[in-house]
């Protein structure tokens, strides 16, 4: 089956050792793998939200701002395979390339975070997820540990993006950690099993509506930008005003990128989409998922990340934030005029 790839896709990616053999044999091997995971995330711009490395397999939750999951995973698996061969491993290290499933709904993102971090508990090698050293769980509940730098209050460092997940639980970092921990620990009773009942053709966690979007993406047919759902969201969530301002200021007829004929126009549309995300997130009641559906071909996690970057840019006083400040001023002026 053709692997689904698009801008802003969030995936559950995983792979298992050939013949289910123990491919992560010791601490040195796991540290090498995690080092390559960090290196690859920086090289390809991939945001890793969660991971767990077990003896025979690994799980990742990640977002690809560009449609490059294959390049990222190929680099990771081939580097580790070469490392193991040098250590004397006979034959193939992994059973196959890798499996990946697109995550399209917030509920399934939460369940995956729980499922990934509870792997050692289910395997009987840890009583609680924090007892296992080779997962990202400690970065969520104890962001001050030496392996994770304290960045924006969520315990982020440059390669492990916990903030995007924590924001699904609460806007306040401390409250988000508590809610996440409580949610995951509920899974100790078996509440958060692998959510496979909503996997459609091994491609998507979510509803049939979301699956339809994925199928259109896989077939090469873009998700329509003038759909009734998009029009409904523009009106119902107060997005229409922001949308029209962005189109006017960037000289565009829509926020589609793929259909534009020139490189310059596509570049302008990408900048317009970023500006729309910031203004829509800050000045309307729309959720990340609703903003993503208005734009098309992006996920809610990308919306959260883009908004966070824009917000930090403006707070820093950097001159690169001037276009956003100008747009924000125009929006506020227009709203005062109408009030």
Give the global pTM.
0.61
Domains of the chain with bracketed CATH:
9-213 (3.30.70.1290), 223-338 (1.10.1750)
> Which SS3 state, helix, strand or coil, does residue 49 take?
strand
What 8-state DSSP symbol labels residue 167?
Answer: T
CA distances from 162 to 187, 205, 210, 285 (A): 19, 20, 24, 24
Alpha-carbon span 259 to 277, nearest angstrom: 20
For residue 234, what pLDDT band results from cuts at 50, 70 and 90? low
CB crowding 68-90: b at 16 or more within 10 Å, else e: bbebbbebbbebbbebbeeeebe
Alpha-carbon span 139 to 160, nearest angstrom: 9
Q: Using an 8 Å Cβ cutoff, are 168 and 103 in contact?
A: no
What 8-state DSSP symbol labels residue 188?
Answer: G
Alpha-carbon span 203 to 11, nearest angstrom: 9
pLDDT over 60 (residue 87): yes
When pLDDT is averaged across residues 108-114 and rounded to a whole number, the result is: 87
For residue 200, what pLDDT band results from cuts at 50, 70 and 90? very low
Cα angle, residue 78 at apex, residues 76 and 84 outer, rounded to 5°: 105
Residue 163: the pLDDT is 85
Q: Using an 8 Å Cβ cutoff, are 205 and 101 in contact?
A: yes
Tokens found for residue 129: 């997820």
Residue 78: the pLDDT is 95
Which residue has tokens 């040195």?
Answer: 28
Q: Using an 8 Å Cβ cutoff, are 80 and 17 in contact?
A: no
Alpha-carbon span 172 to 160, nearest angstrom: 19
pLDDT over 80 (residue 80): yes
pLDDT over 90 (residue 48): yes
DSSP letters for 189-245: GTTT---GGGBSTTSEES-HHHHHHHHHHHHTPPPPTT-HHHHHHHHHTT-HHHHHH
Alpha-carbon span 95 to 80, nearest angstrom: 13
Q: Model confidence over 245-281: pLDDT tens digits?
A: 999 999 988 887 777 788 888 888 889 999 999 998 8
**Contacts of 328 by beta carbon, 8 Å cutoff, 6+ apart:** 279, 282, 283
Q: Model confidence over 21-34: pLDDT tens digits?
A: 899 999 999 999 99
Which residues sit opposite 51 in a β-bridge? Answer: 60
Q: Using an 8 Å Cβ cutoff, are 13 and 73 in contact?
A: yes
Terminal C-alpha separation, the chain = 53
Phi–psi pair at 86, nearest 5 degrees:
-65, -25
> Which SS3 state, helix, strand or coil, does residue 107 take?
helix
Q: What is the helix (H) or strand (E) element at residue 62, kind and residue range?
A: strand 57-64
Residue 100: the pLDDT is 85
For residue 287, what pLDDT band results from cuts at 50, 70 and 90? confident
> Percent of the chain scored above 70 by pLDDT?
78
């Amino acid at each position: 089956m053709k692997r689904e790839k698009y801008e802003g896709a969030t995936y559950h990616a995983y792979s298992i050792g050939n013949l289910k053999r123990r491919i992560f044999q010791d601490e040195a091997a796991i540290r090498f793998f995690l080092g390559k995971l960090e290196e690859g995330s920086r090289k390809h711009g991939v945001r890793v939200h969660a991971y767990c490395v077990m003896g025979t397999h690994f799980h990742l939750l990640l977002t690809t701002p560009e449609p490059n999951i294959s390049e990222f995973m190929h680099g990771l698996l081939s580097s580790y395979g070469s490392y193991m061969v040098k250590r004397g491993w006979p034959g193939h290290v992994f059973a196959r390339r890798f499996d990946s499933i697109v995550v399209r709904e917030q509920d399934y993102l939460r369940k995956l975070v729980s499922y990934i971090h509870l792997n050692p508990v289910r395997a009987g090698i840890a009583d609680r997820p924090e007892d296992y050293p080779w997962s990202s769980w400690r970065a969520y509940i104890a962001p001050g540990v030496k392996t994770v730098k304290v960045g924006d209050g969520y315990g982020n460092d440059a390669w492990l993006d916990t903030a995007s997940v924590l924001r699904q639980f609460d806007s306040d970092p401390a409250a988000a950690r508590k809610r996440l921990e409580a949610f995951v620990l509920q899974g100790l009773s078996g509440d958060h099993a692998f959510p496979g009942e909503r996997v459609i053709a091994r491609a998507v966690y979510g509803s049939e509506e979301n699956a339809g979007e994925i199928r259109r993406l896989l077939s090469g047919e873009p998700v329509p930008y003038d759909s009734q759902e998009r029009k409904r969201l523009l009106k119902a969530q107060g997005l229409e005003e922001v949308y029209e301002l962005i189109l006017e200021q960037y000289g565009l007829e829509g926020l589609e990128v793929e259909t534009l004929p020139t490189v310059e126009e596509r570049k302008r549309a990408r900048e317009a989409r970023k500006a729309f995300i910031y203004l829509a997130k800050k000045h309307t009641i729309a959720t990340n998922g609703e903003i993503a559906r208005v734009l098309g071909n992006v996920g809610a996690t990308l919306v959260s990340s883009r908004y966070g970057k824009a917000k930090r840019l403006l707070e820093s006083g950097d001159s690169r934030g001037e276009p956003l400040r100008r747009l924000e001023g125009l929006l506020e002026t227009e709203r005062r005029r109408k009030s």
